[in-house]
Structure 1
Amino acid sequence: MSQSTEVEPSTTAAPRRTATPVTATRRRPARRAGTPYAFLAPALILFTAFLAAPIFYAGYLSLRKVQVSGLGLGSKARTEVWAGLENYARSLSDPDFLPSVGRVGAYGLIVVPTMLGLALLMALLLDANRTREAVSKFARISIFLPYAVPAVVASLLWGFLYLPRVSPITDVVEAVGFTAPNLLSSDLTLWAVANIAVWGGTGFNMIVIYTALRAVPTSLYESARIDGASEIAIAWRIKIPIVMPSLVMTFVFSLIATLQVFAEPMTLRPLANTISTTWTPLMKVYRDAFTRNDIYAAAATSVIIALATFILSFGFLKLVGRRAFNQED
């Protein structure tokens, strides 16, 4: 009997010691559940205030219009009413809209392949010899430097280089014995604007592609060289397939920038009478909103541009995304 009474306390005391640590470990994650949201809150607030809210407000304005009663005099003579899709119909039927879309399409066909081709070529050349680090750093900075110049400043600089009377390029060409072309003429304006975009955007895309190349281990290239592969074969069969996701990403960025081209032609417009106020769709938005004071039509055109940007970007990603990002399949 005495032995049984001594065993019972020892068996009941053990669970009481382990109960406290278990409850403490279960409560600890609950205290930190809101930490990620606290870090995300500033970005979410800025995104909502400066991107999401203007988009929704533009969509709201695109469905409204001003109705004028009588002579349009008085405080209640001009009222904002529901317009439905009327503003979209006016924007799409505007005789200046489709030509501006055509110019942007031709602009993109020039800029995007040229810019990405040069960026890929420069990245491959810089990655071909990784031993000269000092030369590589200087080359990267030199190529990337034009991207740091704002688009308005770059357009002004190139604009004065395009003007025949003040351009040193014209003097050099005429000194050699040739006639310098007028790059701001109606035939060459598109190429002049595209040149500014290529000059300013190649460096950024080169850095993105070159960064992807630097992540590839050199042992992979050495194995290919041992097998007898040349540098061109290594670039074509190994490097380009590896950086394909970076090429897709830079293409999407370039496509979005092409559809939103505004600063270059708008800055060159005072220097050339060949650039109209509706040379690009965004310039048409600017004209409708700030020259004609028709913010409703401008909002409708903005929504059309945003939808076109989303459809083209999403469609391109769906077309090549699986092959580019899931190469192991």
Structure 2
Amino acid sequence: MIQRRDLLAAGLASLAAPLAARAETWPARPLKALQGFAAGGNADTIARLLGAEMARGLGQPIVVEAVTGAGGTLASAAVARAAPDGHTLLLATGGHAVAGALYEKLPYQTVGSFQMVSTITFFPFLLLVNPASNLRTLAEVAAQAKATNGGIAYGSAGVGSTHHLVGELLGKSAGIPMLHVPFRGDAASLTALLGNEVPMVIAPATAALPQIKAGKLRPVATTGPARWAGMPELPTVAEQGVAGFDVRSWAGWMLPAGTPQPIVERLHAETQKALQLPTVRSRLEEMGGEARGSSPQEMTAMVAAEVQKWSRVIADARIQRL
């Protein structure tokens, strides 16, 4: 029995040895950070911002690549099947959890195929109307919705987008009849709002800030748990009568499952260092977000909870799964 136990221990040690050696020599080459959306967009900008600062401490550059399509799932799939050696990261967003709820079959598990590192930023959505309208509060939106056959139409970045699901959750939570009108991205939905094609749009602050500052769009509410620092005069949905309403998107780093723990800890530490830099924090705030890191365990629990939340919203709204 002792001999068999010793052989088993030796076998386990031999399996662990390559992982330990890999962690000791890491990073051996430039890192790749994949993100699933257009170059120049929020995800791309966040990945480049954090990657540039983290590269200083790692001694290797972090090269950001856009793997676009299917709501970010192509990038997620590429990272899930990458070697778990710490050289391939995913800049995941709130859409990662939405996809886990929306798609019936994915080539990866939304949580189980990944090793979480840390969240980077959280940002709320805004309820936006045309300033030519008489809508200034959520109560006025609700009143118009109830007086309109079919409810108030709202534009979003597309069917199954987080924006779409925010509207569905708001309608259910506040008892507001909502009619979804999908567009191809934020720019198209905001153009439709400017042209009075829809009376309201749900979009992230980054997409709408230039038009808000120019007086071309009017924000009615923000969806976070507290007022957004970039627009402190704007009340939240919760402040306007929908207790506990809190919907924000987020961005964070993930690795392939099985990445050695020392590498996870190093990337986590470098992320936290970058998030403490005033230049990084101010840039994230300019984009409409709040710089906020987390432990890998906290991020794992958050993503799992998000998948469950959006699964319920999709089922309640009878949105067809893809």
Structure richer in helix, relative to its length = 1
Fold match by TM threshold 0.5: no
Q: TM-score, normalised by structure 1?
A: 0.25
